[in-house]
Amino acid sequence: GESVGLHLPTLSVQEGDNSIINCAYSNSASDYFIWYKQESGKGPQFIIDIRSNMDKRQGQRVTVLLNKTVKHLSLQIAATQPGDSAVYFCAETGETSYDKVIFGPGTSLSVIP
């Protein structure tokens, strides 16, 4: 079946370093991808999105890269801060009649001060 998965379940980085969180997706028909951040005790928060007609999109300290050839998505966080510690989910959806979102299992990012 279609699924979205992550390569690494946990990631520890030193404060100030860059973080890279990877995601694989299997549905080649998916054309809209979203990264969410979930802090403990809270709901997922939108970070950044990218459509399939793009291969890179930048936000504030975050960059999402999309490689459609290998169905791979990554989230790069520059100068990682303690406040970035959270679980990060990639999600995929399509331009169908509604926005059903399929989430990957998540990567837990821990920032070491």
Partner 1 sequence: NAGVMQNPRHLVRRRGQEARLRCSPMKGHSHVYWYRQLPEEGLKFMVYLQKENIIDESGMPKERFSAEFPKEGPSILRIQQVVRGDSAAYFCASSPRTGVQHFGDGTRLSIL
Asked if 48 and 55 touch (Cβ cutoff 8 Å), the reply is no
Closest CB to partner 1 among 2 and 15? 2
At 109, the amino acid letter reads: L
Q: Does 88 bind partner 1 (CB under 8 A)?
A: no
Answer for which of 26, 45, 58, 81 binds partner 1 (CB under 8 A) is 45
Surface-to-core class of residue 29, CB atoms within 10 Å of its CB (0-12 exposed, 13-18 middle, 19+ buried): exposed
**Binds partner 1 by CB under 8 A, chosen from 25, 92, 106, 109:** 106
> Near partner 1 by CB under 8 A, which window of 20-28, 35-43, 57-65, 73-81?
35-43
In the chain, beta strands by DSSP E: 4-5, 10-14, 19-25, 32-38, 45-51, 56-58, 62-67, 72-77, 86-93, 102-103, 107-112
Question: Can residue 103 be called a binding residue for partner 1 (CB under 8 A)?
Answer: yes
User: Quick check: 102 binds partner 1 (CB under 8 A)?
Assistant: yes
Largest CA distance in the chain: 45
Q: How many residues bind partner 1 (CB under 8 A)?
A: 19
Considering only residues 48-67, where is the footprint of partner 1 by CB under 8 A?
49
- Chain positions contacting partner 1, by CB under 8 A: 34, 36, 41-46, 49, 89, 98-106
